[in-house]
Copies of this chain bind each other. A is one copy, B any other.
Amino acid sequence: MKTDLRISKTKDALRGALMHLLKQKGLNSISVTELCQLAKVNRGTFYAHYGQVENLFEEYFKTIMKDLADSYQEPYKHVRNLLSKDVNPATIRIFHHIEKYETFYRIVFSKTVPLSYYYLLFDHIQTLIRDDVSEHYLDRLDIDISMVSAYQANAILGLAIEWHRQDFKQSAEDMNRLLVRILSI
């Protein structure tokens, strides 16, 4: 059973309007009313699908996260030679992913956005890292794998935050090199 044409039409219009407005103002200052006016969708229809503007954004977020997961599957080319044995390829993929969706991540890392978006990203990276970590620490049953992966995942995100602060002036390639250097110290 495929989704009703009217529904996807409405959702496309709302997503388009949101993307348009996000280039002008922050997520929290976009009202349901103006969003619906721009999308030419009835306000009641919006509430039938989403409870608040954030929910609409989150739906978009999931498609981006999907891409991150997919990019993890992709074969590695240009960075493999950089990698030391301590670097998880998954972690190093993140910077290219952020670069690709820069406009989007400018929102995700903006101050006014709820912490939940950061957590969604964190979760994703933590999961990617966890598999690698649990292999590496197979012999040490005494240490909490969740803690180790949380530590490593968030360290990477620390670099991403600083990258955002410096207005993404470095290239993703630069960030990869930086990460390798930090890990090798």
The residues of A with any CB-CB pair to B shorter than 8 Å are 28, 109-119, 122, 143-144, 146-148, 150-159, 161-162, 165-166, 178, 181-182
Contacts and interface: CB of A to CB of B under 8 A. Distances in A.
A124 to B, nearest CB: 14
A154 B161 contact: yes
A151 B115 contact: no
B115 A119 contact: no
A153 B122 CA distance: 15
The SS class assigned to the A binding surface is helix
Contacts of A119: 111, 161
Contact of A113 (B114, B162, B182): B114
A112 B114 contact: yes
A158 B162 contact: no
A94 to B, nearest CB: 13
A114 to B, nearest CB: 6
B111 A114 contact: yes
Given A118-B118, A154-B159, 9 more contacts: A110-B115, A111-B116, A115-B117, A143-B182, A146-B162, A150-B158, A151-B162, A151-B182, A155-B158
